[in-house]
């Protein structure tokens, strides 16, 4: 929704590059404030037990591979 508002000229939006790229390439949005970025935010995976189903462990591993680890 934020991307759509920006495409319609209703202001600026903080968007991740993969989400904004098609609109940027198509010319419906442009990059501004190139030296500014959102602050880093911690992400935690909290489980009730160390014993995880394989699908949960796979999902947590996937997220960890996609997020920057500090």
**How does pLDDT run across 20-65, given as a tens digit for each residue?**
999 999 999 999 998 988 888 888 888 888 898 999 999 999 988 8
* Total structural domains within the chain: 1
- Our separate counts of H helices and E strands in the chain read 3, 0
CA 51 – CA 41 distance, rounded (Å): 27
CA 70 – CA 53 distance, rounded (Å): 26
Domain range for 39 = 2-66
One-letter-per-residue 3-state SS of 7-20: HCCCCCCCCCHHHH
**How does pLDDT run across 46-55, given as a tens digit for each residue?**
888 889 899 9
Are 35 and 29 within 8 A, CB to CB? no
């Amino acid at each position: 929704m934020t991307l759509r508002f920006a495409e319609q000229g209703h202001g600026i939006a903080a968007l991740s590059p993969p989400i904004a790229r098609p609109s940027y390439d198509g010319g419906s949005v442009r990059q501004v404030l190139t030296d500014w970025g959102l602050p880093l935010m911690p992400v935690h995976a909290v489980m009730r037990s160390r014993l995880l189903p394989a699908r949960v462990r796979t999902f947590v591993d996937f997220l960890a591979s996609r997020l920057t680890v500090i």
